[in-house]
Structure 1
């Protein structure tokens, strides 16, 4: 079976790749569970000091939640859908937000729905100039369910966030930069080098201090 999350480590930096390129790296239940397990392992591995998270293939970072799985859960009842889809996605974004090692999203393509919510949740993000963002859940007659209705307003401000949440309009990397969703936009070929450069600039400093800052900021945002 294909590993849904590819993992390799270089110079103390783990590169995690969402690996469903044929489905635009959509977040099915197995992928979310695998990513959570890998993050658990990395957090207690002292040889890994930072994480870069990206998507497999040339088209997508992640197109969001796997709608086919979600529809199957809904067919079994609202309680099943809440447990299987909503709570699982919220566990993932909460884990990314509260992680004690720096996580940098290298957004290499489409980041819609849950993919956009991952970008909101991680502490740092760099976008390829080929990336594309959207909050399209309203087109499916539902709100974002992984925390996007809280995190995007914190990043972009209430009115700008509501425009995106209520229209479902896509937006390009320069707009994502303006909204505070990403730290930088770079040419596609420079995406991973830029992510590594940012990680190395952070890792010049004490792991204890880095973890303390990440934890303090995450707690402050949620008070």
Structure 2
């Protein structure tokens, strides 16, 4: 049994890099890894020195090959309640946490992103893929639907018909196709993956962290609502910014033609 910690965390220049660390298992998501990743996100949310998070996989082969099937199959033997509690609920909690995290999370997809690994990429607000990446929705091959949100997020990103083709065939697809579907923001040479993700993080970190969080919240909450409800969410997020130092400083800096000095940046 591996003695590696299932998730590694490194913080540098205000960016926390979380690395899924089961390379001998292609970074498959077992219960310990999911719980460790959730625990790190809880810690980083309240760490004011961290402004952005990069999520990647250990080794050269995989971002994550998906859920740990050997462990999951044991939960299946417990019946619907046990399998749903141990596997589905845990995975959906993880992807929902990533999706709604108040600081930008950038998935740096360094290799295979199958099943749950693809679902983490779908949930992340931003994603960059290496040219070595490979994506798939292979759950149909196990006679099951995706369980970490893949039946819901991929159609919202790619459209119903394009998503269903991938969900119903289980066929793998290239990083360029992932880019065309809107699953990732960019495809870069493998050696440039982490530098590109860090560069994107720094471009975001130039701005007010309060405003960044406000935009993330407005988009995440509003995207699946009607336009009227979404506009109300946008209005609420703006109202929250009105009394802040950062909004006053942003306006003053623009008027005075200088760089803003935001709180906590």
TM-score, scaled to structure 2: 0.83
* 1:99-158, Cα deviation, whole Å (9 max, x unpaired): 000000000000000000000000000000000000000000000011111100111011
Are residues 1:85 and 2:84 paired?
no
Are residues 1:9 and 2:8 paired?
no
Map residues 1-223 of structure 1 onto 2, 5 A cutoff: 1-223=3-225
* 1:151-209, Cα deviation, whole Å (9 max, x unpaired): 00111011100000000000001000000000000000000000000000000000000
Q: Which whole-Å CA distance do the structure 2 matches of 1:6 and 1:109 have between them?
A: 17
Superposed displacement of residue 221, structure 1: 2.2
Superposed displacement of residue 3, structure 1: 1.1
Q: Which whole-Å CA distance do the structure 2 matches of 1:77 and 1:178 have between them?
A: 39
Structure 1 runs of 4+ with >6 Å offset? none
* 1:73-93, Cα deviation, whole Å (9 max, x unpaired): 011121100000000000000
Q: Which whole-Å CA distance do the structure 2 matches of 1:77 and 1:160 have between them?
A: 32
Q: Secondary structure at the match of 2:132?
A: coil
Q: Which whole-Å CA distance do the structure 2 matches of 1:84 and 1:222 have between them?
A: 27
Superposed displacement of residue 2, structure 1: 1.8
Q: Which whole-Å CA distance do the structure 1 matches of 2:163 and 2:185 have between them?
A: 17
Q: Secondary structure at the match of 1:133?
A: strand
Query: Once structures 1 and 2 are overlaid, which stretch shifts more, 48-57 or 73-82?
Result: 73-82
Q: Which whole-Å CA distance do the structure 2 matches of 1:57 and 1:176 have between them?
A: 21
Q: Secondary structure at the match of 2:206?
A: coil
Q: Secondary structure at the match of 1:48?
A: coil
Q: Which whole-Å CA distance do the structure 1 matches of 2:77 and 2:168 have between them?
A: 26
> What RMSD, in angstroms, separates the aligned Cα atoms of the two structures?
0.6
Superposed displacement of residue 222, structure 1: 3.5
Q: Which whole-Å CA distance do the structure 2 matches of 1:139 and 1:23 have between them?
A: 19
Q: Secondary structure at the match of 2:166?
A: helix
Q: Which whole-Å CA distance do the structure 1 matches of 2:22 and 2:180 have between them?
A: 29
Q: Which whole-Å CA distance do the structure 2 matches of 1:68 and 1:123 have between them?
A: 30
How many residues are paired up?
Answer: 223
Q: Which whole-Å CA distance do the structure 1 matches of 2:77 and 2:137 have between them?
A: 24
TM-score, scaled to structure 1: 0.99
Structure showing greater radius of gyration is 2
Structure with higher RCO (Cα < 8 A, 6+ apart): 1
